[in-house]
Structure 1
Amino acid sequence: MTSMRDQLYGIKRKMRKDSKVTLVLPSEFTFNRSEVKHFDHVLSFFNWKLRDIPVEIDFRLCSSANYQAVSLLILYCWKIKQQGCTVSFLLDNETDPNGSRVWRMLGAQGLFAVSTDPKVNFNSNEHKPLFAIRNSDDFKAALQSLDAFTLNFGVEYQKTLRYVISELLYNVHEHGASDFHWRGKRYPTPSILQFTWYERANELHFIVGDLGVGVKNHIGKAHPGLSSDEEAIRLAIQPEISGTFTTQDPYATRNNAGMGLFISSNILKKLRGDMHIISGNGAVHISPIDTTGKSLDFSWPGTFVLVTVRLDRGTEFALDAMMSEFRDHAKAEIAARTNAATIQQLYVGMYNYFGTNADIKSEAIRYRDKYIIPALSEGKSLLLDFTDVDSSTHSFLNALLATPIMRLGLIAYKKIRIVNATKEIRETIDYILDDNTADEPNNSQQS
């Protein structure tokens, strides 16, 4: 005769089975759409509200997936497992390049053993390596693998890529730390590093991701009042902004705390690479020619950075020379920013906010409304530094400056200072100044 306990257990199992949620991977699980990165398509798959129910992830309809997007799925599985879900997978037979094959190539079947055993890491394909980053041993192993992976790309590429990935992994230590409990023990939630060389395109793609507090919460300790995740990311790539703010963190002892993301992003510009930083619902794209950002429809609870580098063997560069150049640039900007704070001035490093080509009008409007108009309203002056900005359109500069100039009137000539601008940019700003300090300014200039 079945005991009452067994009957209740059977009922409980049936109820749990009936509550199972199946998440079906879309036919394409990739960031790539017509050579442009789109993140909402992948992020929309993740349901972060699932708790204490069985979850089944079905790969069978996914006919195309890339390794970086699927790597995020591993972090997602860890998260919902921590929220009390049991996670299972429905995989298809291996056919290139479907989602099931990518999952197996990453060694993702062992993801839960990796999360609770510090001696175990992913048994991924040597050409598509995936690492869980939990401690200094993982850090060293990942960099050693990267050295071997990039051996044939040349010494300078090897050194440079090692530097960039090292700094991104240090950032994981800053804002990526999160813990969970399992069977009475406390474990750090791993971060992930995955890199792939696409031989046909001669490109190296890599992703570093975590489930930590996110950029906004991290730098908000020292810079409260940030209105969006995008704004926080833009601020984090400025020199001496994104450093550690707790004295106990080992990263705080590094002399370049707050410089790593600034230097890494500038290195990638020099290499004609692309860096996408996603945190919360903020997305910032740092390309060789500009820096753009937006708010996404869907969000990521921590941070991930996706990097693409074209391995052009004809490109000559020296890491030491680049580092020296960037540090000099950073010192000059920090000094200008410090001086501006002393004399009640808003300093804007145009290159760091808008890139080599400052020409996106919507970016100018947002920055104007968020920073310039409030600063001028407080009686501050404005210093725009155009160092390393090659071009800027009339529409961009007009959107940035016309309204502030009209509000200031003739005093704008004293309150707004322009330095290190090209002749064309200087002439455009002079025209905007003249046009908006006339007795009867054209209202169309205020847009």
Structure 2
Amino acid sequence: MKSMRDQLYGIKRKIKKDSKVTLVLPSEFTFNRSEIKHFDQVLSVFNWKLRNVPVEIDFRSCSSANYQAASLLILYCWRLKQQGCTVSILLENEADPNGSRVWRMLGAQGLFAVCTDPKVNFNSNEHKPLFAIRNSDDFKSALKSMDDFTLNFGVEYQKTLRYVISELLYNVHEHGASDFHWKGKRYPTPSLLQFTWYERANELHFIVGDIGIGIKNHISKAYPGISTDEEAIRLAIQPEISGTFTTKDPYETRNNAGMGLFISSNILKKLRGDMHIISGRGAVHISPTDTTAKTLETTWPGTFVLVTVRLDRGTEFALDAMMSEFRDHAKAEIAARTNAATTQQLYVGMYNYFGKNADLKSEAIRYRDKYIIHALSEGKSLLLDFVDVDSSTHSFLNALLATPIRRLGLIAYKKIRIINATNEIRETIDYILDDNTSDGVAPNSNHEE
């Protein structure tokens, strides 16, 4: 006859088994679909509400996964551990080229040893390196590996990619902090860096991610009026927005200048790379030609940045020259923004918000409704700076300006100022001004484009 202790243990095991939650990965666990990044398919797997239950993650139906998406799964497992869950992983046969193989290549079986022992890192494949970033030693080790990994890409590529990754790692280290308690001890939750070179496409893909507080929560400390994650990300890629420079307390440390995302995103534009920044439900894509944003159906509680760089050996560039150019650009924008604030202006750096080719009408409408109409209703004037913008369509500019011009009437000629625009952009705006202040268009019209 079983003892009372054995009986209670059996009951406890049955209760635990009955409460187990199984998350089955889809057949394709990847962001990539027809050369376009889709994030909801991956993020929809993550149930952030699970607490104090056994969770089983089943890879056996996953026939295709990429390394960057699988890296996010590691962060998710750490969050489950924070929330009192026990996590088990079901893998397919080791020989099969599927999601299970990707998991093993990352050395992800050791994810819980990594998050509780600062001396342990991932035993990943040398061609698919994965790093937990918890301290300065991890930081140095990851950058050393990156240097070795990019050695054959050329000195300038090596220096430039190192700079970009350094800035992104600084961001997650300073803004992505979170921790958990296990067996009576407090542990910092690591952030992650994973990079892969796809030889056939001659592309380097890397992801930097955390499960910290997210960009919106961080920036809202200095800009409490931010309403969406998209808006927060767009602000973060402007110079001196996301750093500690906004702190007015002279005794508060200022360790972050708020330039990391601004410079990194501009470097990647020059390299003809793509940067996707995901935080909360916001997704911002910075491409060589434009900057677009969308709201996701799902959410990511911290932040991750996914970067793709095409390693074109025929491209000539110099990091020092680029940095000088970007810093000059930043100084000019900060000065214009500061001056606008003191003279009751809304300053809009068009390149940072909309990219080199400002042509997405939906983005113009969103910005107009959120910022321009509100600023003009408060009596402010509008300063649009088109420096580095090569082109902008009539549809975009009309969506951005027609309604404000109609509401202002002839005073729009004084209230709206355009600087650094090409002749084509200037002529288009002049036409829109004339068209919307001609006879028959009354000031304060409620007409919407």
TM-score range, shorter chain: over 0.9
**Equivalences for residues 100-139 of structure 1 within 5 A:** 100-139=100-139
Once residues 230 and 174 of structure 1 are traced to their aligned partners in structure 2, the CA distance between those partners, rounded to angstroms, is 20
Q: Distance in 2 between matches of 1:441 and 1:272?
A: 44
Contact 1:65 1:97 in 2 (8 A): no
Q: Is this contact kept in 1: 2:173–2:191, CA < 8 A?
A: no
Q: How many angstroms apart in 1 are the aligned matches of 2:127 and 2:446?
A: 56
Match of 1:368 in 2: 368
| Cross-structure match for 2:377 | 377
* 7-16 vs 59-68, which moves further: 7-16
From the superposition, tell whether residues 303 and 151 of structure 1 become closer, same or farther in structure 2 (CA, over 3 Å).
same
Q: CA deviation at 1:446?
A: 3.1
Question: Equivalent residue for 1:171?
Answer: 171
Partner AA of 1:351 in structure 2? Y
TM-aligned CA distance change 1:252 to 1:236, over 3 Å: farther
Q: Distance in 1 between matches of 2:371 and 2:100?
A: 48
Instruction: Find the aligned partners of 1:385 and 1:150 in 2 and give their Cα distance.
Output: 37
Cα shift readout 1:255-298 (whole Å, capped 9, x = no counterpart): x6101110000000000000000000000000000000010000
Residue 108 of structure 2 aligns to which amino acid in structure 1? Answer: A
What is residue 8 of structure 1 aligned with on the other side?
A: 8
Kindly provide the amino acid, as one letter, of the partner of residue 180 in structure 1.
F
Q: What displacement does 1:445 show?
A: 7.3
Moved more, 419-428 or 435-444: 435-444
Q: If the length of structure 2 is used for normalisation, what is the TM-score?
A: 0.96
Aligned length: 444
Letter in 1 for 2:265: S
Alpha-carbon spacing, 1:393–1:252, altered in 2? closer, same or farther (3 Å) = farther
Written as runs of structure 1 = structure 2, the 5 A alignment for 1:316-355 is: 316-355=316-355
After TM superposition, list the pairs within 5 Å mapping 1:237-248 onto structure 2: 237-244=237-244
Runs of 4+ aligned structure 1 residues displaced above 4 Å come to 245-248, 251-254, 442-445
Letter in 2 for 1:67: Y
The one-letter code sitting in structure 2 at the alignment partner of 1:337 is R
Distance 1:224 1:437, change over 3 A: same
1:276/1:306 contact within 8 Å kept: yes
Match of 2:264, SS state, is helix
Q: Per the alignment, do residues 356 and 97 of structure 1 end up closer, same or farther by CA in structure 2, a change over 3 Å counting?
A: farther
1:17 deviation in Å?
0.6
Paired position in structure 1 for 2:275: 275
SS at match of 2:284: strand
Query: Cα deviation per residue 1:210-267 (whole Å; 9 max; x = unaligned)?
Result: 000000000100001101000000000000001036799xx9544x610111000000
Alignment-derived partner of residue 80 in structure 1: 80
CA RMSD of aligned residues (A): 1.7
**Superposed counterparts of 1:16-95, under 5 Å:** 16-95=16-95
Q: Give the equivalent residue in structure 2 for 1:201.
A: 201
Unaligned runs of 5+ in 2: none
Whichever residue aligns with residue 448 of structure 2, its letter is Q
Contact 2:57–2:89 under 8 Å retained in 1: yes
Structure 2: distance between partners of 1:92 and 1:176: 33
Structure 2 CA distance for partners of 1:44 and 1:53, relative to 1, 3 Å: same
Deviates more, 1:435-444 or 1:316-325: 435-444
Q: How many angstroms apart in 2 are the aligned matches of 1:432 and 1:247? A: 41
**Alpha-carbon separation, structure 2, partners of 1:87 and 1:208:** 23
Give the secondary structure class of the aligned counterpart of 1:426. helix
Relative to structure 1, is the Cα distance of residues 96 and 416 closer, same or farther in structure 2, using a 3 angstrom cutoff?
farther
Aligned twin of 2:290: 290
Percent identity of equivalent pairs: 86
Residues 145-183 of structure 1, C-alpha deviations (whole Å, 9 max, x = no match): 000000000000000000000000000122100011111
Once the 2 structures are TM-superposed, how far is the Cα of residue 373 of structure 1 from its aligned partner? 0.5
Q: Give the SS at the match of 1:110.
A: helix
- The answer for the alignment partner of 1:151 in structure 2 is 151
Q: Are positions 1:219 and 2:219 aligned together?
A: yes
Corresponding residue number in structure 2 for 1:229: 229
Contact 1:238–1:262 (CA under 8 A) maintained in structure 2: yes
Q: Any idea what the Cα deviations from partners look like across 1:319-372, whole Å, max 9, x if unmatched?
A: 000000000000000000000001101100000000000011110011001110
* Cα pair 1:398 1:445 within 8 Å, conserved: no
The structural deviation recorded for 1:9 is 2.2
| Partners of 1:22 and 1:30 in 2: CA distance | 20
Hey, what's the Cα distance between the residues in 2 that align with 1:138 and 1:247? 32
Kept in 2, the 8 Å contact 1:243–1:259? The answer is yes
Cα distance between partner residues in 1 of 2:81 and 2:338: 46
With 225-234 and 432-441 compared, the bigger mean Cα shift is at 432-441
1:446 partner SS = coil
Determine the structure 1 residue equivalent to 2:183.
183
Rounded to whole Å, the distance in 2 between the matches of 1:297 and 1:175 is 24
Whole-angstrom distance in 2 between the partners of 1:105 and 1:53: 28
Kindly provide the amino acid, as one letter, of the partner of residue 440 in structure 1.
G
Corresponding position: 1:306 with 2:289: no
The answer for the alignment partner of 1:446 in structure 2 is 448
